[in-house]
Structure 1
């Protein structure tokens, strides 16, 4: 049974996004802030990626065993360690720790990379990077941590916005893009995907057909249907609907747009169609979702 990082860390996190009442349950990542006296963590394997950001200003000795290999090194301020999902890793540190641990669900990372950055990632998604320095990425992590200190709606908005910034920075620098020559027999490459995504974005308020998307990819309809599903795991029309719902979710977080406006902007036939489709995918009606995200105006 896979365990959570904080279940085997020798002290409880000082801050934890999972415990914050106003942080979205659908957030892109979990953020935990730890300080612990010299100690160790047993080797374990997790289903999620872990990004460890060192905020301890004094260099200190750390040992990390990953996949059976021991590393004994000096951990410096702003050093980062990426442990991809599926890696067996254990730790020992010889001075008080001061770290932010960011946990990423591979499925959410894949979806974000595709829809927001037009990136097709390799299954492993990130390089196995035992140690590198990136003050810019650490600064973004500190903003995430600080947003947890005040558990209110404004901090929640800051957390969600910065989580997107952090993930964009991380993927652009360290994400493993799928090589064109291994994009399955499909030959559905990143270039194909970006043309299709651009068409969906430009015509989101209109009817989008498989024929339209196949034309953007310069493929026959039958071939496009097959290679799209092989590469992305869903049919083209399932993907279009998921994208419409994703954009509607973002708009619903803002109180200044009506349900009718969102329905039209996201290409639903009418408001009733929007409500049915939204509830089918998210389990909530648009009204229920907005009520949980936007505070009442007094």
Structure 2
């Protein structure tokens, strides 16, 4: 069974976002900062994507094995190496490291890309990028690292904001999108998805039907329902309900906002309907969810 990257790293991180309570984009990733003496990391297969951001000023020798192929190369400052989930990889470094390791859960990344960016990612999600330079991404990583060093309100806000910046940049530049010409026999493409998502966003506080969504995609309702589920793994109405609940969770971060107002803003008939639907999806009532967040 694939393991987590943190399980076998040979030293403890100096900073670790897992010790901080995060929300939204920040909850999709773990950020760890290492300065480790020369060492090795045995080959293993990981359940997460991991992204190495190199901050070391001096170029240094590194060996990286990826699915049985070993590269012996020089790592430069601002170099980044993305190792997709499911790839067997191992490391050896010959000088003291100065790196940020970002790990991402593939399922959560796919959902974020869909709901926040309107992107349908290929099942592989990331291209196999052995090594590339990206000072912008490294700069975002440094801000994340610096925010972890403080535990005040402002640093938490900064960490959340820069988590989103880093994730969006990573997906837009290196995310492997589902090819338009292989988007199933149904041809439910990213452009279809974007039109449907835009419609849901605009009509969030109103009734939404399958017929309306199918019209946005330019398909018959039956064909749309079939290909939507094939592509996204849920029926259109299940997706709409999940999206309503997700937006409600964000609105409930404002502790002063009445639940009845949240219910109407997210398209529920009344607060009772909202509570039933929320518990059906999350296992908690809205009040229980809000109380747990405030604890």
Q: How many residues align?
A: 294
Match in the other structure for 2:282: 282
Match in the other structure for 2:32: 32
Deviation at 1:248, TM superposition (A): 1.0
Deviation at 1:154, TM superposition (A): 4.0
- Distance in 1, matches of 2:235 and 2:198, equals 17
Deviation at 1:77, TM superposition (A): 1.0
Deviation at 1:220, TM superposition (A): 0.9
Match in the other structure for 2:189: 189
Alignment of 1:38-77 (within 5 A): 38-77=38-77
Deviation at 1:140, TM superposition (A): 1.1
Match in the other structure for 2:229: 229
- Distance in 2, matches of 1:285 and 1:82, equals 39
Match in the other structure for 1:255: 255
- Distance in 1, matches of 2:15 and 2:289, equals 26
Partners of 1:217 and 1:224 within 8 A in 2: yes
Deviation at 1:284, TM superposition (A): 2.6
RMSD of equivalent CA atoms: 1.6
Alignment of 1:83-122 (within 5 A): 83-122=83-122
Deviations 1:116-167 (A, max 9, x none): 1111111000111111111111111122222222234443333223222211
Question: Are 2:18 and 1:18 equivalent residues in the alignment?
Answer: yes
Structure 2: gaps spanning 5 or more residues: none
Deviation at 1:192, TM superposition (A): 1.0
Partners of 1:24 and 1:156 within 8 A in 2: no
Alignment of 1:103-252 (within 5 A): 103-252=103-252
- Distance in 1, matches of 2:2 and 2:255, equals 39
The alpha-carbon distance between structure 1 residues 107 and 201, as it changes in their structure 2 partners (threshold 3 A), is same
Deviations 1:243-276 (A, max 9, x none): 1111111111223422122111111111122122
